[in-house]
Amino acid sequence: MKVQAMICQAATPHLLLFTPVPPAMRATLEQRFALHDDALLDEAERRALSTQVRALLCNAQSVVSKVQMQQWPALELISVIGVGMDGIDLEAAAERNITVRNTPDVSTEDIADHTMALLLAATRKVVQAHQFVQQGEWAWGRFAPTPRFWGRRLGIVGLGCIGRAVARRAQAFDLSIAYTGRSPKPDVAYHWYADVEALAHHVDFLVVCASGGAETQGMINAAVLEALGPDGVLVNIGRGSIVDEVALQHALQSRTIAAAALDVFANEPQVSQSLCSLSNVVVTPHMASSTQQGLQAMVQQAQDHLLEHFSMPEVAS
């Protein structure tokens, strides 16, 4: 019996959790995997498990470096709850034949909804108007008129799934749509600009939906903000690294642009308070994808990726 138990235990894949998971998901995974919480392991336990861990479960903020991958030589799969994989060394994973899977499509519509909410809030000054009423200033006069939203010009940086979802919503507001990216998309009628500065020059609203990485690092710089102009509004729901935050702060303070709305930042969760405290910026805590239904769907998909990889049937509820 003891030998049989050892064989069964050896046959059970070891899964390392880089992120907390909901109780229901944990209960399901415990029926199929030997679970280990990375944050709770000491060095001796880590060494003992080094050749046994075959999968990691992460979130979009997790960091998995080449050095970390080398610590788990049996690693086969990294399953990510979320879209972002900026913290994962994908090149090192490919070199070691480690499969990396995320949940890219689940949150597209939720992110697009939040993008429009940010754009409307920044343009129509919803947060400032809320504070105006809340602080009793309405008794002393009316809130100043805000810029019009409908019928204006929207530029999208990165016309992927999220960018397209934003464009569909923008059409309901009669916004004219243009975009920039690596190359024009033959299946859309929106005007394409070869670079982001040219796009910014021709639009009122600039929405960043691009991916992070070296190619887009600091793409939204002082020149782009200058091109966007004093009536322009910037929204970033892509990656914090894409926007030069120092240049943005200066542009907002000097009214080079009218306003900005940000859901992502360069050094999350540490955010520049001098930027956040400006009266013409709206900020949210990287929550564009964080709806209850969306998170549930992402968790389910990440769980499915684990079960599929190890050819396991779904666990009956």
- Largest Cα separation within the chain, whole Å, is 83
Assess contact for 14 and 76: CB atoms under 8 A.
no
One of 45, 268, 308, 314 is an active-site residue; which one?
268
One of 286, 305, 308, 314 is an active-site residue; which one?
286
150: Cα separation from own chain's centroid: 27
Active site residue 308: no
Residue 314 to residues 27, 32, 109, Cα–Cα distance (Å)? 12, 10, 27
Helix (H), strand (E) at residue 173: none
Phi, psi of 51, deg, nearest 5: -95, 5
How crowded is the C-beta side of 106, counted as CA atoms within 13 Å? 22
Active site residue 91: no
Q: How far is the C-alpha of 227 from the C-alpha of 175, rounded, in Å?
A: 19
Active site residue 239: yes
CB burial of residue 10 (10 Å; 0-12, 13-18, 19+): exposed
Assess contact for 51 and 90: CB atoms under 8 A.
no
Q: Which residues are catalytic?
A: 239, 268, 286
